């Protein structure tokens, strides 16, 4: 148990020992304040929620790095988190003690980030930071997270506008022969860019007209390209291959047979194996997305009349729009695209489902209209 004693200078010294046996003390002008503080500390110890006042004196950078290295993330997520911390969190709070960060400071920091970054990016940065401080609370480094209650910038709703069929055809024609089948495959299956660049010939079943998606080409700064699992568990899927895609792949194989490439599979530190990549550069190397965008895609997209900044991902939206236009359910679209949830599919493409406005009017009129007619008849 602790004690409260009066010092020769008139102040009151409250003293206690923590669960580890270390002694702590604090001085007060009034005895009642010392008693209250000591009572609160002793209650926290009894309830098992005591936080050592010195535990939070570690710097944000030191704690965040230990947290980051302990996480089980995909290689791309590891690189992404490291980049977000290094670029945005550490310059402002890295050398500060955990316990010293105030909610008002986090709010001001979010406001500054919002002046130069998109709301979605600010949300990601804040989310990583909030997770770190939440872990610090769980580790009893601090009593509360300064990220709780922080207001984030609002994200403006963004309506996906897929390219037209004419633009897709023009794009395919504008691409060099070696990369033409990439566009057909993306528009005809909805595969992500990394899934296409990491496609090997053994994942294509021409007989059953299916393509198996279970890995993607990953690029992490400081490492050579490697093959790893797709974005989410739902991304593991089999996608039906239409005839137009089968024909494009067959023509591609005839001119550009799959290239044997020695590459790491599973992560940047795994063993290298020989795989047969379907799409490679002229030097028979894996395709890097930045190089592909600058050297191949942008020129063809401009020739096809696509808006500036349109990437290969637009063909994934085109594929989704075709499925929706031909009456496929939300569940089917979700499965084909490899979305984690049906909610993700709806959030992205709900505005593309045809006649949704008319069906809404019809549903309300069908139910409420009859009720209104009954009311009018009774009134008359």
* Distance set, CA 119 to CA 104, 110, 122, 158 (Å): 19, 10, 5, 12
pLDDT for position 259: 87
SS (H, E, C) the chain: CCEEEECCCCCEEEEEECCCCCEEEEEECCHHHHHHHHHHHHHHHHHCCCCCCCHHHCEHHHHHHHHHHHCCCCHHHHHHHHHHHHHHHHHHHCCCEHHHCCHHHHHHHHHHHHCCCCHHHHHHHHHHHHHHHHHHHHCCCCCCCCCCCCCCCCCCCCCCCCCCHHHHHHHHHHCCHHHHHHHHHHHHHCCCHHHHHCCEHHHEECCCCEEEECCEEECCCCCCCEEECCCCHHHCEEEECCHHHHHHHHHHHHHCCCEEEEEEECCCCCCEEEEEECCCCCCCCCCCHHHHHHHHHHHHHHHCCCCCCCCCHHHHHHHHHHHHHCCCCHHHHHHHHCCCCHHHHHHHHHHHCCCHHHHHHHHHHHHHHHHHHHHHHHHC
Rounded to the nearest angstrom, the gap between the alpha carbon of residue 42 and the centroid of all alpha carbons in its chain is 42
- For 318-367, write each residue's pLDDT tens digit: 999 999 888 888 899 899 999 988 888 888 888 787 665 666 666 677 77
Range 296-312 average pLDDT:
94
pLDDT for position 371: 60
- For 177-226, write each residue's pLDDT tens digit: 999 999 999 999 999 999 999 999 999 999 999 999 999 999 887 788 99
User: How does the average pLDDT of the chain come out, rounded?
Assistant: 89
pTM for the full predicted model: 0.73
* Distance set, CA 261 to CA 171, 225, 292, 295 (Å): 28, 11, 18, 21
Strands 210-213 and 237-240: antiparallel
């Amino acid at each position: 148990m602790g004690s409260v004693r009066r010092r020769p200078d008139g102040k009151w010294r409250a003293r206690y020992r923590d669960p580890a046996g270390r002694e702590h003390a604090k001085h007060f002008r009034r005895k009642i304040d010392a008693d209250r503080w000591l009572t609160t500390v002793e209650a926290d110890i009894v309830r098992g929620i005591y936080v050592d006042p010195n535990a939070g004196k570690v710097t944000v950078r030191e704690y965040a790095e230990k947290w980051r290295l302990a996480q089980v993330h995909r290689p791309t997520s590891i690189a992404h988190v490291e980049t977000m911390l290094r670029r945005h969190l550490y310059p402002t709070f890295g050398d500060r003690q955990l316990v010293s960060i105030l909610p008002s400071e986090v709010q001001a920091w979010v406001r500054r980030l919002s002046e130069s970054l998109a709301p979605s990016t600010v949300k990601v940065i804040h989310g990583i930071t909030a997770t770190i401080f939440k872990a610090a609370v769980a580790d009893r480094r601090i009593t509360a997270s300064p990220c709780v209650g922080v207001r984030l910038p609002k994200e403006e709703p963004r309506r996906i506008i897929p390219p037209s069929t004419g633009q897709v055809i023009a794009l395919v024609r504008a691409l060099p022969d070696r990369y033409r089948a990439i566009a057909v495959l993306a528009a005809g299956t909805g595969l992500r860019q990394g899934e296409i660049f990491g496609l090997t010939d053994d994942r294509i079943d021409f007989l059953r007209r299916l393509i198996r998606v279970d890995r993607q080409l990953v690029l992490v700064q400081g490492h050579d390209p490697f093959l790893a699992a797709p974005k989410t568990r739902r991304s593991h899927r089999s996608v039906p291959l239409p005839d137009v895609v089968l024909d494009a792949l067959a023509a591609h194989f005839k001119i550009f047979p799959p290239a044997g490439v020695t590459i790491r599979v599973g992560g940047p530190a795994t063993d290298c194996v020989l795989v047969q990549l379907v799409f490679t550069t002229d030097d028979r190397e894996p395709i890097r997305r930045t190089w592909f965008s600058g050297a191949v895609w942008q020129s063809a997209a401009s020739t096809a009349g696509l808006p500036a900044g349109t990437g290969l991902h637009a063909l994934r939206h085109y594929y989704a729009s075709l499925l929706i236009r031909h009456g496929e359910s939300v569940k089917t679209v979700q499965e084909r695209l490899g979305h984690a949830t049906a909610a993700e599919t709806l959030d992205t493409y709900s505005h593309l489902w045809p006649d949704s406005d008319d069906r809404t009017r019809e549903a309300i009129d069908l139910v409420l209209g009859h009720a209104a007619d009954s009311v009018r008849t009774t009134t008359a």
